Structure 1
């Protein structure tokens, strides 16, 4: 099936090879472990390249997996994609493929907390040292390079505080020293940002979130350029990283509607965020599309839009008071994930996971994922919660 330069069309046609679909719209779910060979010659031929798109052993993939990896690869503009059983497995699997004992890694101070936990835990035990950098550092990251710096791990915008990084400047600095750059691209998806086209080596997604889109699958992906993909593939095979065909199917199903869902998430989030910006209990709205969000100008330059996740900082009060806001909400439920069709709310304190850039705020930070519900209903739900918070905090 021919490629399209239009993302909406590509979302529909990507990965639907005739030899995988056999005339069916969606590739079937190939549940398998053992794959059999007709001849010894065929076995030897496939053993020479078990990562190719031919049946070898189901851990190395089936047409269900290949349809998803091919679609993501085409959307990201990479050389290949590996699948992982979760988003953090994709992050850690890619990091393990790109570093070795004795290396030095730079990670944005605004990174997803499990990424930080991995760097401070297993990576440290392996003899890999990590330095956390100010997400707004841009080209200044060059000052942090050491002789053994091998990898930069960026996430733009940050998971809780939504700083938008100057990825072109960071990548340009890295290229001078042949340092790999990996970007967690979950917030933007390939529709809003293409890190590989900017020169990054790996783009990672928690497909659990927007790509899956329905809060019913744990799934991760890492798409790499030519120089990094073989390393990703080799380490994933050595670690036995794989996903079930059912999960791959759910990821592929979600991908087909990513375009229309993301547009609605963006519209709904902007509507709610604009209302929150004028609310007397809200001190700041941390949304990349807002001029006062750190890195807003970079977002305007590099991104094709925004998604449904952002944070607000409340005026006064403490985290012990936030139960009045989050408990008992009709539409906003508490949960650690995001990217599904439902709205979520979560009190989060970035101070516990910052070292390079200490977090200071006027009040608690509340992260919101705006789902596909009617925005009038969502605003009414938040208005009630904020009134309760105001009373509880005595403001």
Structure 2
């Protein structure tokens, strides 16, 4: 079995064949789990040459990985059109932090989309600030304001699509083009759609970041992140990750590879189920807004149709005219939906959220919404039967008003 990295195969085929070349899986279907901290050399001459060959596939020391990790990197790189390589991190947040630290220096300015993942915001306001990096939040839906946010010290832009929790779809190709015109690096958290649903580098971004904890793992049993980039930024990402001591276990890499093989099927099923549930919610009088890019007529749907080739089961809805106690009665009544953070596993989850504390530039409730339209729930749709999930939600809504 040899993997094809020339793009001749479609994504679903590359998901199956990626990372199965050469020593990664010689005469077996799945790359073995290489648990190895120490790599051995034949002699002193090869020992001295080892540090110079800083590339996947070249043994040196366990911190640079071994065949199990290299196989996962190869498979992920083949899915990200335009990537020269992929770096693994012990969590999705570690991938975000490691990527930003590879790009930024003291005195630089980082622009952060206001609807980015809350830990991304906290990194800008905390760790990066401690290292002398200034952050500025911007509304990714306001291109004019975005253009004026740049200055001579702006070094990078951190994007995310859709927006965390509130699911806004922004014009990533345009945002990335504006950054590139100014010589600014664009990074994107592309966890929601993955490279299968949104080819981030082809859309103009320089670094594509994914929390493998979510769809790639697919079973809620591992923590991992990845960043893919073209040659220039891949080398910087790799060196920075090594200097930070980032490494993932071969056992987790094997789990991620296993999850990757079925990811297209899971995403297709979850997306279809999520759209059906979103349509059901959209017909309810006790739902004020459904925040789902795949839903026709929803904000951002046209951009999603233009730029995306897929989606996933994650979306949100806003309850109409009820307080937090009513929202909690709804969520607490659910039986098939677990209550918890994260998403992208085979099981469905519900998460009540309040967005005001994690927005700086974007108003919430949004313009044109009633002031009471602030109590929201995020749903991660898994692989359960769609009708069973709808029935479970119906019981939750009945309990919301004491039924």
Q: TM-score, normalised by structure 2?
A: 0.95
The one of 41, 48, 70 aligned to 1:44: 48
Q: SS of the counterpart of 2:315?
A: strand
The partner residue of 2:380 within 359, 369, 385 is 369
**Is the contact made by 2:282 and 2:289 (CA closer than 8 Å) also made in structure 1?**
yes
Q: Which moved more, 1:383-392 or 1:93-102?
A: 383-392
Tell me by how many angstroms 1:49 deviates.
2.2
> Matched residues in 2 for 1:309 and 1:52: separation?
33
Query: How far did residue 50 of structure 1 move?
Result: 2.8
> Does residue 1:17 correspond to 2:17, yes or no?
no
Q: Distance in 2 between matches of 1:274 and 1:352?
A: 29
Pairwise CA distance, 1:363: 3.7
Asked if 1:27 corresponds to 2:38, the answer is no
Provide the rounded CA distance (Å) in 1 between the counterparts of 2:144 and 2:77: 28
Query: Matched residues in 2 for 1:176 and 1:34: separation?
Result: 45
Q: Shift of the alpha carbon at 1:85?
A: 0.6
SS in 2 for 1:215: coil
Distance 1:139 1:22 in 2: 54
Shift of 1:316: 1.1
Residue 159 of structure 2 is aligned to residue 148 of structure 1: no
Pairwise CA distance, 1:317: 1.3
CA distance in 2, matches of 1:276, 1:194: 30
Tell me which residue corresponds to 2:122: 117
Q: Give the one of 292, 310, 318 matched to 2:323.
A: 318
The one of 128, 137, 140 equivalent to 1:135 is 140
Q: Is the Cα–Cα contact under 8 Å of residues 139 and 169 in structure 1 kept in the other structure?
A: no
Rounded Cα–Cα distance in structure 1 between residues aligned with 2:166 and 2:320: 16
Task: For 2:352 and 2:55, locate their aligned partners in 1 and report how far apart those are by CA, in whole Å.
Answer: 43
2:396 aligns with 385
Structure 1 segment 61-100 matched on structure 2, within 5 A: 61-77=65-81, 78-100=83-105
User: Could you tell me which of 241, 247, 250 is aligned with 1:245?
Assistant: 250
Instruction: Report the Cα offset of residue 47 of structure 1.
Output: 1.4
Q: Does 1:107 align with 2:112?
A: yes
- Whole-Å Cα distance in 1 between the matches of residues 268 and 114 of structure 2? 29
For residue 292 of structure 1, report the CA deviation from its aligned partner.
4.1
- Hey, what does 2:59 align to over in structure 1? 55
Corresponding residue SS for 1:152: strand
Runs of 4+ in 1 over 4 A off after TM superposition: none
Q: How many residues align?
A: 392
Q: CA deviation at 1:139?
A: 6.2
Q: What is the TM-score of this pair, normalised by structure 1? A: 0.97
d(CA) in 2 for partners of 1:79, 1:236: 16
Q: Per-residue displacement from partner, 1:216-254 (whole Å, max 9, x unpaired)?
A: 100100111122111111110000000000011111110
Structure 2: gaps (5+ residues)? none
Q: Report whether the alignment pairs 1:7 with 2:18.
A: no
> Residue 186 of structure 1 aligns with which residue?
191
What CA RMSD, in Å, does the superposition of the two structures yield over aligned residues?
1.3
Moved more, 318-327 or 374-383: 318-327
How big is the shift at 1:327? Answer: 1.1
2:216 pairs with 1:211: yes
Give the 5 Å matches for 1:276-291: 276-291=281-296
Answer with 68-77 or 130-139: which moved more. Answer: 130-139
- Cα deviation for residue 16 of structure 1 reads 0.3
- Give CA-to-partner distance per residue, 1:298-337, whole Å, 9 cap, x none: 1110001221000001101122332201114210111100
Superposed CA deviations along residues 43-91 of structure 1, whole A, max 9, x for unmatched, are 2222112334211101101000010001111101211111011110101
The unaligned stretches of length 5 or more in structure 1 are none
Is the CA contact (8 Å cut-off) linking 1:139 and 1:170 kept in structure 2?
no
Aligned-partner SS, 1:338: coil
CA contact (8 A) 1:317 1:363 kept: no
